[in-house]
Amino acid sequence: MASVSATTLSFEPCFKLSRRTSQAFCRTSSLGAVSVGWIRESFPSLRSSRFRIYAAPETVQKVCEIVRKQLALPPDSELTPETKFSALGADSLDTVEIVMTLEEEFGIGVEEESSENITTVQEAADLIDKLIQKKGGAD
């Protein structure tokens, strides 16, 4: 909150009164008895990670096979859902090629914004299952 007089400008921090209701109040200096407040009642934040649905194991396995092939990794190389493409030596072009191969293999279309968020095998598999489910619901 800011208060202005002829010669000064002062700021006074707001403080939170309640964690559950997000009530906050601000007051100005003694130059004027002005206070501003608001109350925002809302539900607690739900984090999507708490309710995350993981992809089918078959999808994860297929993604691993495609990543091995695209990056010319040995067939016995160990890939887990948490494996990052960058840890395998993939650059951005490799990642684009992986996404294009996944699109062809699964018959889906991945939007550019979504493809930029794919950094691990699990993220790719989750997105694939989500798009397949969405595609199935559209039919």
Q: Are 46 and 116 in contact (CB under 8 A)?
A: no
Active site (annotated) includes residue 126: no
Give the number of residues written for the chain.
139
DSSP 70: H
Catalytic residue among 76, 91, 129, 139: 91
Q: Which residues are catalytic?
A: 91
